[in-house]
Amino acid sequence: MAPAGFLSKKRMEDFLKEIGKDALVHVPVLEGNVVVFRPYGQNQTINLERPANAPPKAVIFPQSDTFFTFRFIKDPQDPKKVSVEINPPSDFPEAIIFGCRPCDAKGFKIYDKVYIEANGPDPYYMGRREKTTIITLACPAPSAGCFCTALGGGPAEKDGSDILMTDVGEGFYLEPVTEKGDKLLKAQGVAQLIEDGAKYGQEATKRQKDTHDSVKKPFESINYRDLSRDLFDDDRFWEEMVSKCISCGACTYLCPTCYCFNITDEKTLEQGERLRSWDSCMFKHFTLEASGHNPRPTKFKRYKNRIGHKFLWYPEKYEEIIACCGCGRCIRYCPVSVDISEIVSNLRKTE
């Protein structure tokens, strides 16, 4: 692995243009009062000051993704005989996510267990994952609702990123984390823009530590075994915690670790496609059966499932890893300020 480098802020646009030669680069852009990931292009205000309103999960796990297209073919001899031709996509584009946060990058690690390791590779997820390089910015400051350090992450956590950038004032201190990141930094055009980073190392470490210490900790650390199953199964607990929930999908769609989906067919006359699209366990119709029966008929049951999935069942299945990265978006943008960190704190067994 190459030693750390330095990218001057003056050269950031050149850097983006250079890495954009072979890949679609997704950058955080200020639109109105919000920050969203957009393909890098003209007339954009790149914003690295605060985390994007929505994480860049759609780059690897698109909000709607074509499993395959299909086409009906009529037999000219016998029009009643119709055969079907199905075509899955053959390739996925090279992509780079630039300027996401360590929590966003960690989200993909949560997905990897489900979509690559445990159930056999999901070809759509893996196709994009392998072709995506993640250049993360160490968080310069926590936002309202952030609690990554309580979940074992941190504003300069490297796990999940290919390159970690730290803002050191006039530029970024660049640390290659993976072979993929290393390769990107060593590519000829890019290497020309990067200076030796050695003299910025100390400043980067200091800034990383300062931010780390300023992240709020609703609890010190957590293991799924710490949660009280009695409380978890107590309907009154959920009623108290989430009476205010309005059952929208903001928390799940903004979550870097939420991965539940729907599969639907969309058709126009003789052809169509089967899509995977994001779905939300907070929606009532999510588990509604054709018979009218619904195993999770109330918002209490649905929210319980959301917490259960992230804090009990995922860790029980996957090496005790909590499926929440503490990015705080579900808290920040919840229409009624449901606070997942408060709920989990309350669920913890009192010693």
Site for another protein in 242-271 (CB under 8 A): 243-244, 246-250, 252-254, 259-267
Distances (CA, A) of 270 to 86, 154, 304: 12, 51, 43
According to the binding rule CB under 8 A, does residue 285 interact with another protein?
Answer: yes
Q: How far is the CB of 101 from another protein (least distance, A)?
A: 14
Binding positions for another protein, 288-307, rule CB under 8 A = 288-291, 293, 295-296, 301, 304-305
Nearest CA to 242 out of 280, 278, 279, 282 is that of 282
Residue placing its CB nearer to another protein in the complex, 129 or 329: 329
Residue placing its CB nearer to another protein in the complex, 32 or 188: 32
Binding positions for another protein, 65-84, rule CB under 8 A = 67-68, 70, 72, 80-84
Residue placing its CB nearer to another protein in the complex, 96 or 250: 250
Binding positions for another protein, 14-33, rule CB under 8 A = 31-33
Token duo for residue 39: 């393909």
Contact, 72 vs 84, CB < 8 A?
Answer: yes
HSE (side-chain half, CA atoms, 13 Å) at 221:
6
DSSP label at 118?
I
The two counts, helices (H) then strands (E), for the chain are 13, 12
According to the binding rule CB under 8 A, does residue 225 interact with another protein?
Answer: no
Q: Which residues contact 27 (CB under 8 A, 6 or more apart)?
A: 16, 37, 38, 39, 40, 44, 46, 98, 99
Residue placing its CB nearer to another protein in the complex, 188 or 230: 230
The mark string for 86-125 relative to another protein (x by CB under 8 A, - otherwise) is x-xxxx----------------------xx---xxxxxx-
Residue placing its CB nearer to another protein in the complex, 152 or 249: 249
3 state SS of 236: helix
Residue placing its CB nearer to another protein in the complex, 11 or 274: 274
Distance (Å, rounded) from C-alpha 82 to C-alpha 191? 56
| DSSP, residue by residue, 24-56 | EEEEEEEETTEEEEEES-SS--B--SS--SS-G
| Element housing 275 (H / E) | strand 271-278
Count the site residues for another protein by CB under 8 A. Answer: 103
Distance (Å, rounded) from C-alpha 303 to C-alpha 301? 6
Residue placing its CB nearer to another protein in the complex, 188 or 295: 295
Binding positions for another protein, 40-59, rule CB under 8 A = 49-50, 53-54
Residue placing its CB nearer to another protein in the complex, 197 or 218: 218
Binding positions for another protein, 177-196, rule CB under 8 A = none
Binding positions for another protein, 156-175, rule CB under 8 A = none
Contact, 277 vs 262, CB < 8 A?
Answer: yes
Q: How far is the CB of 6 from another protein (least distance, A)?
A: 26
Binding positions for another protein, 120-159, rule CB under 8 A = 120-124, 127, 141-145
Binding positions for another protein, 309-348, rule CB under 8 A = 309, 312-313, 316-317, 329, 331, 333, 335-339, 341-342
DSSP label at 114?
I
